[in-house]
């Protein structure tokens, strides 16, 4: 069977240049942040914990510390790009969202709603709900017309 080709999200040269310009200590900091989550996953602690109690820490550590997105609390000015519990049109709330946010609500724009589930939840199964997690993310994106991506995670390594 032929291997499927895919288009890279970032051009390899851009990634190489960006990595070369970063502080080498940054990688150790990221490794430390990720090690805590990986340890909890391997010991089964994530499967035993209520998913909602993990949302804030996951958004802050992974999206904030590791990926560099700023919340209102960590932004230097009046603009930030990560929020938790983002209400979407016609009800419901995504567990988080990436976008362009500021104090003036009419200027806020969601680029990617984030749907988070517990470690034991399969993302393509509804598990007693009307929508599977992937469908929930899709629903949030459809209710947020400016969205271009959907992020769905269940805290797993895969």
Is 6 among the domain residues? no
pLDDT at 5: 66
Average pLDDT estimate for 136-145: 88
Range name among 9-13, 39-43, 108-112 with the lowest pLDDT average? 9-13
pLDDT at 96: 92
Stretch (H or E) spanning 115: strand 109-116
Q: Which domain, by its residues, includes 16?
A: 12-153
Average pLDDT estimate for 49-54: 85
Instruction: State the Cα angle at 121 between 8 and 93, rounded to 5°.
Output: 80
Neighbouring residues of 24: CB distance < 8 A, sequence distance ≥ 6: none
113-136 burial string, b = 16+ CB within 10 Å, else e? bbbbbbbebebeeeeeeeebbbbb
Average pLDDT estimate for 112-136: 86
> How many domains are there within the chain?
1
Instruction: Please check the confidence at residue 76 and state whether its pLDDT lies above 80.
Output: yes
Beta-bridge partners for 57: none
Question: Rounded to an integer, what distance in angstroms lies between the CA atom of residue 103 and that of residue 85?
Answer: 16
Is 21 among the domain residues? yes
- Which among 113, 109, 111 is positioned nearest to 136, based on CA atoms? 113
Average pLDDT estimate for 103-125: 85
Name the band, by pLDDT with cuts 50, 70 and 90, for residue 22: confident
Name the band, by pLDDT with cuts 50, 70 and 90, for residue 114: very high
Name the band, by pLDDT with cuts 50, 70 and 90, for residue 128: confident
Is 7 among the domain residues? no
Is 1 among the domain residues? no
Is 2 among the domain residues? no
């Amino acid at each position: 069977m032929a291997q499927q080709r895919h288009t890279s999200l970032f051009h390899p040269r851009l990634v190489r240049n960006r990595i070369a310009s970063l502080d080498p200590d940054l990688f150790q900091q990221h490794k430390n942040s990720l090690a805590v989550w990986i340890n909890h996953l391997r010991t089964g602690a994530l499967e035993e914990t209520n998913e909602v109690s993990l949302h804030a820490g996951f958004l802050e550590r992974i999206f904030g510390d590791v990926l560099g997105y700023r919340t209102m609390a960590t932004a230097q000015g009046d603009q930030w790009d990560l929020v938790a519990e983002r209400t979407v049109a016609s009800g419901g709330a995504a567990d988080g969202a990436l976008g362009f946010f500021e104090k003036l609500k009419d200027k806020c724009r969601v680029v990617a709603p984030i749907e988070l589930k517990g470690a034991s939840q399969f993302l393509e199964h509804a598990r007693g709900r009307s929508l599977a997690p992937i469908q929930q993310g899709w629903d949030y994106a459809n209710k947020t017309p400016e969205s271009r991506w959907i992020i769905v995670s269940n805290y797993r390594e895969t």
